Structure 1
């Protein structure tokens, strides 16, 4: 019996580490707060808890010493939290001297709709000036930078080329490099941590595509900042002095449920996970649910009544979408609110089947990609990052052939990315 117990103990010592390692690679939605693994016990299973993900902001003792006696600027919004407390409030409670708060698209309070220009203001509670970097000014002025010793960047991204927070990271890095100021990046998980899609043709460079990267770039903000520096993307190949406060207990395959919506129209976890696939529809005549409280989880158009039974009606919603596509018209299409979003993490691919399906079913195909039909439609080629995808959809090219056309650029990007990743 004694030898039998020894064998059991030795077996568990071998099995538990192996399962721990495996779980880090295959975390599921159950692991939002902590990873769980199963090992054998007398009842068949034993739950072992591992530490929960800790964001850069959570690790305040790692960066607070750098802020002491400094004049600090913050580039933040409502996603910038420590547990349930605003980063601004937390730093003020530690007597950090915050001179300016800079706000990205949607504003410091994340309550402005997409594309809405935001004005500067003064926070009524703290008296701190709030400077909008989404309107007349894209980066802090020299006068503002002269009043600062460093800037802290803490914004939740969703890992997509056309989500504009990576552009704002670039802008603040440019300002810091020009003025010889350090940028501290409080890293946060990328909920869409996989790499997929066509790499941007830089002839199509725009505000929704600024870098030669695929639709889902598979990087956190800390990693992306290292890529901006390393690839010489700043003007004159300047380098920004950055300090990344890295995540704990995180890998790119770890499922992460955002505690705060990163923007008004990404207001649920399914919308965040579906965004890389559904945002392409912004360059079509198909509504993605803007003007509803379920954006980026539904697709539809008034002319599809004969093909689909599910329906929704876009309305003007202040703070989300004031004049959405097909406003006050009943749209017919599909409801993806219950879609198994784990599939996207498991396959590590954006979904092209919906785009192919809706083009096939839309009766007036000449107007499917015609942005002149509505001022609300975006430029499909700029969203896709290539002129080829539209042509391929029109010509009935298969999904497999479309994906094959993204090579070799996609594989080259993956090799480049490896130089800058911090996490597995």
Structure 2
């Protein structure tokens, strides 16, 4: 029966390793002709036979956004064509189609293409309520993450699993690669600074896919009350490791439009808790940074202006002096985390008294980093201070890995 459905949907042919067009059904482009051909990656969503049986006769809710696709087709459209009983779409930050600005409230509605009700989990509530799940038996989570604690889609995953555990629902996570997957770095969150940009005791770069993280949330009983939900993870197929280069086929959010922005995001995002612009309101968000309170001798200047991704950008209309990181520096690793930008901009700030905002501790996950920066401690010393907790996390992480690190 399942085989017949896949063929009818035009999805069975070419799904095997080495088959298919230039972009495989998981959305990852193989090497260019002439290069050594690696086995193409197959996203969890593309492995329909692994999870369709669990959907038969069930009422299904989707936690998805614009990255939730099989090739170029939205997962919701694929499942609707397969006559899966879709009763709800749960829209996270930036909305179901990924077009809402950073921090914008997402409202309930209905998907124009399929008619499926859309319920916001980034508005009045960030956790599905019993009423929101009353007509749902199974929740599918399929959203591209970028591997940082403060990227809110993993907080949505936490709350979805928590609601499922409380309301006796099943969660199926369709896994995708982590584009910063080889990086496990940064201070580990302390409970005092728990917020929607950091719910769990993770370092800034956790080095996990969402499937691995879901296993950790369940296994460590980090959901409210120590509950565990019924969980199925469909891993990425095709020999994926955390060191596998992966260029995202769809921007994961409006202000991460390029692979370079995704690589810089873990390091640059800390400046969102300061008086420095990270390029929101420009055509290079997270690739440029600057402020009016930096020296005019800085090598790069820009002025944030309202745009689709940032209707009200920080420092709107103000000339900012700073850096352009669009081109990688010589010998810079492809994936990394550093506090050197934070240290540099604090040292050169002409208004150190107002450099940090209250938001900084939520991003850092600790109050020690601010104190270390103000004290003028070098990066090596700062790194040494978080190594004990980071080492403990790395040991914990090893229990839940689905893929090798290299």
2:400 is aligned to: 420
Match of 1:350 in 2: 337
Structure 1 portions without partners, runs of 5+: 1-31, 37-45, 372-377
CA deviations over 1:57-82 (Å, ceiling 9, x no partner): 12122212222232111000000000
Query: What is residue 362 of structure 1 aligned with on the other side?
Result: 349
SS at match of 2:145: coil
Q: Residues 260, 170 of structure 1: CA spacing in aligned structure 2 closer, same or farther, 3 A cutoff?
A: same
What residue in structure 1 maps to residue 150 of structure 2?
Answer: 162
What is aligned with 1:179? Answer: 167
Compared with structure 1, are the counterparts of its residues 382 and 122 closer, same or farther at alpha carbon in structure 2 (3 Å cutoff)?
A: same
CA contact (8 A) 2:146 2:178 kept: yes
Q: Which one of 30, 36, 50 corresponds to residue 34 of structure 1?
A: 30
- Contact persistence 2:92–2:106 (CA under 8 A): no
| 1:130-160 deviation digits (Å, cap 9, x = unpaired) | 0000011222232332312211110001111
1:278 aligns with 2:268: yes
Is 2:321 the partner of 1:332?
yes
Q: Which has the larger radius of gyration?
A: 1
Q: Which residue of 214, 218, 222 maps to 1:225? A: 214
Q: Is it true that 1:235 corresponds to 2:201 in the alignment?
A: no
Moved runs in structure 1, 4+ residues, more than 4 A?
none
Distance 1:352 1:137 in 2: 33
CA displacement, residues 325-364 of structure 1 (integer Å, 9 cap, x when unaligned): 111111111111112598344xx64122211111111122
Q: Distance in 1 between matches of 2:94 and 2:113?
A: 20
Tell me if the contact between 1:103 and 1:134 (Cα under 8 Å) persists in the aligned partners: yes
Which of 28, 50, 55 is 2:43 aligned to? 55
**CA separation of 1:130 and 1:355: change in aligned 2, threshold 3 A:** same
1:213 aligns with 2:202: yes
Residue matched to 1:148: 136
Matched, 1:94 2:82: yes
Q: CA deviation at 1:236?
A: 1.5
Q: Give me the TM-score of the superposition, normalised by structure 2.
A: 0.89
Give secondary structure in 2 for the equivalent of 1:389.
helix
**SS of corresponding position for 1:99:** strand
1:133 aligns with 2:113: no
Match of 1:16 in 2: none
How many equivalent residue pairs? 375
Asked if residue 310 in structure 1 is aligned to residue 297 in structure 2, the reply is no
Quote the residue 1:261 is aligned against: 251
- In terms of fraction of residues, the more helix-rich structure is 1
Structure 2 distance, partners of 1:72, 1:216, is 32
Cα deviation, 1:268-287, whole Å, max 9, x if unaligned, reads: 11111110000000011111
Using the alignment, how far apart are the partners of 1:305 and 1:391 within structure 2?
A: 23
Q: Does 1:398 align with 2:393?
A: no
The change in CA–CA distance for 1:267 and 1:349 in structure 2 (over 3 A counts) is closer
How far 1:206 moved relative to its partner? 1.4
CA RMSD in angstroms comes to 1.8
Residues 164-197 of structure 1: per-residue CA shift (max 9 Å, x gap) = 1111001110111112111111000111111000
Q: CA deviation at 1:35?
A: 6.3
